[in-house]
Structure 1
Amino acid sequence: MRFEWWIRAAALSLVSVGLSTLPRPTAVGDEVFQVVLGERQLFVDDVGTDQMSNLIRTMHQPEKRGALIRPDKFQGEEAIQVRGAPVWDPHQRVFMYWLSGTKARYRTSPDGLHWTAVFPDGLSSATAGSSMMVRDPADRDPTRRFKAVRQSSGFVVSPDGIRWTKLDVPPIPGRDEGNFSYNSQHGLFIHTYKRGGPYGRSVGLATSTDFERWTDHGLIFHADAEDQRVGRQRIAARFADPNLHHPAYDIPATYNVDVYNMAVFRYESLYFGLPQMYHQTGKVPPDWPGFDKLPISDEMLVNYRRDGDWAGFHDVQLMSSRDLKSWRRLGNREPFLTASHLGAGAWDECSVSPPSYPLVHGDELWFYYTGAKYYGPVLLEHGRHRPSNAICLAVLRRDGFMSLDAGPAPGTVSTKPFVLPGPELFVNIDARAGSLQVEALDAAGKVIGASRKISGDRPHGKVSWESSQLGQLAEKVVRLRFTLRNGSLYSYWFEGGRRHTDQ
């Protein structure tokens, strides 16, 4: 079986700031909702929805598949990390991945699962890459095909993704964390970075259309009072569960929730944000007497005596936006990715760091993320610092961020009017115990076509019509009404007569 991989990667990030230089997607308030041919319409919010009844909107977590790249303790590796996603090179026909925390920083893979360390000749720290890397097929200069952000030193380009040249472009002012993506649809590079905010660490954003002239939009997302309230409940639940990792310190007076990192990307018709929410469970001062009782190295003891220490855990939440200005927190702020239970050998028993964007693999989305066993004091184990971080994989159904769910009683959702972009309608549904029927309505609300019922698990289900054909309504204004029983509806989209396939 041959797999064609592609990435709908890119932009994102903001709460309510004037970002006039950013591309403007279809406005929420447009009288006619815009549906683009081949672009899937997801049900994560009410944009494009006219009426909905007897349906429940549900967020779905990706299924974890374990660690793919682990630290080699015999090489002295402790914490392998990434702040990016693998990049497919169509010429070498391999995935390329730059890591940190390992001597073998550059890895390749033919399938995204099995990774080989590669040590290019003559590679030095000055010419090595960054995990925040993208491939830009649109650049006319082949020496700039690959682009990467180096958090503290600026921006680099490469013809092959291996040897890099630093641009004479200053770095965006920020702290020690960042993320990077490329919105190929609008030709927009997006770099998020850490800055201070109302409750501590927060997220800033900068954009560029040429990778050299950057606009710094400043602070665009931060934790709020509700995060503090929910965070205290989540910390209490963490310490009450014997199956979850307990951080080293539990000091309620120092509890706090802020944003450690934030990944942003465009997926189909909207933007998603993956904020990494840090739940601080304890902070101790430099003169804390407990340091003398911890199994730590002399080097770390000096650091703790100078700076103090803190502990906690991270989880990743889910947000969406249609315009990069207004953001919707999805799933009632429940984790999209969170720690695994103890005892199963997982590497993410304590914390998770966000994937930059998913890779689309057939009917699945593959998320590469950093999983951590520990966060807090760096303890010794058998005379060495214990290994803590690995690169893990989680898999989600394509379009599966959220679904509209119905039980035995029929649920319905109707769209706002839109100009029909193509003759063939497809849906992504799981109705193994039920069915979905679609009706086409004219602008006045009159039914002008009804589909045959669709059942089963159909991630790419073509809609067949009992009466009329959508092709006869080309470029006309229509509405769709979906009626669902005992199933989940994830998305719909239109194609132009020839089915696109990923396999």
Structure 2
Amino acid sequence: MLLPDVSGVDAMDIADRKQLLIDDSLLQTYAGLRFTMHPARKRGHVLLPELPSEKGRIGFYGSVADVDGTLMMWYWAQTEYRDDAWRKGLALATSKDGAVWTKPNLGLVARGGSKDNNLVNAFGDTVSINPHGDVSERFVLIHPKYRTDRPKGGVYLSFSPDGIHWRSHAPCVFPFVPDTQNQVRYEERIGKWVSYVRTWHPNRRVGRIEIEDLKAPWPYRQDQAPRLIWGDDCAPVPSTEIEEVLACEPELDGEDADVYTPVAVEYPWADRAHLMFPSIYQHLPPPAKGGRYGNDGVLDIHLAVSRDGRAWQRPSPRPYLPLGMDGEPDSRMLYMFAGLVRRGDRLLHYYCGYKSTHGAHPKGAMDAGAICLAEQRLDGFVSLQAGAEPGTLETKPLVFRGGRLELNLATAATGQCQVELADASGRVLPGFGHDACLPIRGNGVALPVRWQSSPSLAVLAGKPVRLRIRLRNADLYAFQFRARGLGK
């Protein structure tokens, strides 16, 4: 594929930052290759509804974060359906390895006449880390509430020093109730807070808000008529008041699907990479209620990618985490938890799965669910993939720092990869041609590229170069220039 001409455009300075091949933004040309999405590998459940405080439903929405080497997970916990109601709470679990989890007895909130449970003293959608705030506000919780009280309804925040003991921030920061797993988190790239919330236009979509001051009123267009889906006395949902960044595509998803949850991540282990793991909601005909977009259906988890958190694309219409087999804990609904954690060269996702459909909740009929683990290789979301016929790519001019080139690469036993370096005008640099590159075979997240004369790349650092890469029976996920001798 020939991409737009970049002659006369300055080279991109990538320094020693890792570059993911999630789209064609780094490429000048490619042929014989295709962008391929790689689903995460399911590893089974890690938490089940064992306590009285969570017997009705576990999970649904949740968050996970690596806090000083300890993994902390916050998840919805719901009592069994009784007296026409559930009682909801926000529960905490902790882990060191991401596989074995503990539910600490916090003794803060009574359920069923006892405080012997793992409920924290707040409730909300997702938790995020405040990297630059006061220690008393290290953790941030977002909570839309007062849906049936229009004057009070909206998004509220709580803060905590430890993720357990929370203090409410009284003023409403956003006068809409987006009824889903909403997020607010700090984005290092732009130095601002960003919230991803559900919007309706006319069905469920994802909206984005950039926020200068987290505690001050969040910006939105005030010239739009409020969208009232629950009635005139209820709080409005956000619609065209904020920027829309993701919606279902009828040609990919059909006419009766929408986006249920966002779950966006600013990927911390590479440059300019944002990931989203939305649950796509396929409505079952006929709708249970609410007209065309009814409230029953099945959901699986998909992948969207972005370079800036605003312009998103889905590399595949296939799910990143598909529905489980009939009878398995995740056979009807899957919702990704916010947050992505790393252990070695493995990335850990957590999601909740259910055997029942979205509308199967009257009189407590919804399945109680399970919180499950899925794994991904480091950077392994999307690759440029070659089959038996070799494929090639050429990057735009890049300026790097370091003396060594490493690839996140997986080849078949019959596959290989070779790399050539050229100057900005396309001339092959002496000693760095394809013929001089030692074939790379294997599977690793930081495989070194070597040329026969073993020249150091340091002589090229700071100068515009193009990478030309040949692949056969291989997947290339990422590349990175590093100082010589550094490990992965």
Q: Contact 1:264–1:356 (CA<8 Å) still a contact in 2?
A: yes
1:296-339 CA-to-partner distances (Å, cap 9, x unmatched) read: xxxxxxxx9xxx974211122222222333322211x2212221
Alignment partners' CA distance in 1, 2:120 and 2:41: 38
Alignment partners' CA distance in 2, 1:195 and 1:407: 41
1:200-241 CA-to-partner distances (Å, cap 9, x unmatched) read: 1222222324422333471414545x42x5445xxxxxxxxx
1:410 and 2:390 correspond: yes
Shift of 1:177: 0.7
1:356 and 2:356 correspond: no
Q: Contact 1:284–1:309 (CA<8 Å) still a contact in 2?
A: yes
Identity %, equivalent residues: 29
Alignment partners' CA distance in 2, 1:354 and 1:489: 26
The equivalent of 2:172 in structure 1 is 170
Shift of 1:350: 0.4
CA 73–168 in structure 1, closer or farther in 2 if over 3 Å, else same: closer
1:142 and 2:109 correspond: no
Alignment partners' CA distance in 2, 1:29 and 1:377: 58
Alignment partners' CA distance in 1, 2:483 and 2:305: 28
Q: 2:348 aligns with which of 366, 371, 378?
A: 366
The equivalent of 1:377 in structure 2 is 360
The equivalent of 1:491 in structure 2 is 478
Alignment partners' CA distance in 2, 1:394 and 1:257: 24
The equivalent of 2:401 in structure 1 is 421
Q: 1:456 aligns with which of 419, 442, 447?
A: 442
1:187 and 2:191 correspond: yes
Alignment partners' CA distance in 2, 1:94 and 1:385: 35
CA 285–354 in structure 1, closer or farther in 2 if over 3 Å, else same: closer
Aligned length: 420
Alignment partners' CA distance in 2, 1:82 and 1:189: 24
Q: Contact 1:104–1:119 (CA<8 Å) still a contact in 2?
A: no
Instruction: Letter of the 1:108 partner, please give it.
Output: T
Q: Contact 2:182–2:198 (CA<8 Å) still a contact in 1?
A: no
Q: Contact 2:40–2:320 (CA<8 Å) still a contact in 1?
A: yes
The equivalent of 1:36 in structure 2 is 14
Alignment partners' CA distance in 2, 1:394 and 1:487: 23
* TM-score for the superposition, normalised by structure 2: 0.78
Q: Contact 1:174–1:193 (CA<8 Å) still a contact in 2?
A: no
Residue pairs, 1:169-318, within 5 angstroms: 169-172=171-174, 173-180=176-183, 181-198=185-202, 200-213=203-216, 214-216=218-220, 218-221=242-245, 223=247, 226-227=249-250, 229-232=251-254, 256-267=256-267, 268=270, 269-283=272-286, 310-318=295-303
Indicate the larger mover: 150-159 or 409-418: 150-159
Q: Contact 1:183–1:265 (CA<8 Å) still a contact in 2?
A: no
**Higher share of residues assigned helix:** 1
Shift of 1:34: 2.6
Alignment partners' CA distance in 1, 2:11 and 2:351: 35
Alignment partners' CA distance in 1, 2:7 and 2:198: 32
Q: 1:431 aligns with which of 379, 394, 411?
A: 411
3-state DSSP of counterpart to 1:464: coil
Alignment partners' CA distance in 2, 1:95 and 1:369: 15
Q: Contact 2:55–2:368 (CA<8 Å) still a contact in 1?
A: no
1:137-162 CA-to-partner distances (Å, cap 9, x unmatched) read: 332x2111112212325111111111
Indicate the larger mover: 460-469 or 70-79: 70-79
Instruction: Letter of the 1:416 partner, please give it.
Output: K
The equivalent of 1:240 in structure 2 is none
The equivalent of 1:334 in structure 2 is 318
Alignment partners' CA distance in 2, 1:202 and 1:75: 32
The equivalent of 2:95 in structure 1 is 109
Shift of 1:389: 2.0
Alignment partners' CA distance in 2, 1:42 and 1:362: 18
Shift of 1:284: 5.2
RMSD between aligned alpha carbons? Answer: 2.8
1:70 and 2:55 correspond: no
CA 61–156 in structure 1, closer or farther in 2 if over 3 Å, else same: same
